[in-house]
Amino acid sequence: MAYHDITDTNLNYVQHRTLQRYQRHHLSELFERYSKLLMFRVDFYYRVDSNAWCHADKYSTTADMILLLQRCNTMTGLVGFTWVLEYTEQHGYHIHAAFYLNGQKHRKIWPTFKTLQALWV
């Protein structure tokens, strides 16, 4: 049995060790401060029929994500996040993000997810 069969590792994906180390450190710091965390993943992308899809580049997509994160500053219980920008021919520029909620203040992620969805461009 191969290693990727055990670990469910995608062999077509290049692992960025420095980024993984940073994300693990960030998560460890969150667990040191909060006794319970709720994590959820969101994929942000532009609709294919939108102007943003046609004109998107790494700079505008990054700017849109930074704007979203600035808007999130008023959200209660959001204690951390991490995100990466990717590009594929099929999906164009898109962002994979993970958000962390203080589990002592939130029981469900759905309301926060809906708020983020409404704030995205």
Does domain 36-119 fall under CATH 3.30.70? My reply is yes
DSSP conformation letters of 63-101: HHHHHHHHHGGG-TTEEEEEEEEEEETTTEEEEEEEEEE
Q: What is the pTM of this model?
A: 0.80
* Residue 4 pLDDT exceeds 70: no
Q: Are 82 and 39 in contact (CB under 8 A)?
A: no
Cβ count near 116 (within 10 Å): 22
* pLDDT per residue as tens digits for the range 96-120: 999 999 999 889 999 999 999 888 8
Domain boundaries, the chain: 36-119
Instruction: Determine the angle formed by the axes of helices 110-119 and 58-71, rounding to 10 degrees.
Output: 130
Write out the two tokens for 45.
């992308």
Q: Among 13-22, 59-68, 83-92, which is the least confidently predicted range?
A: 13-22
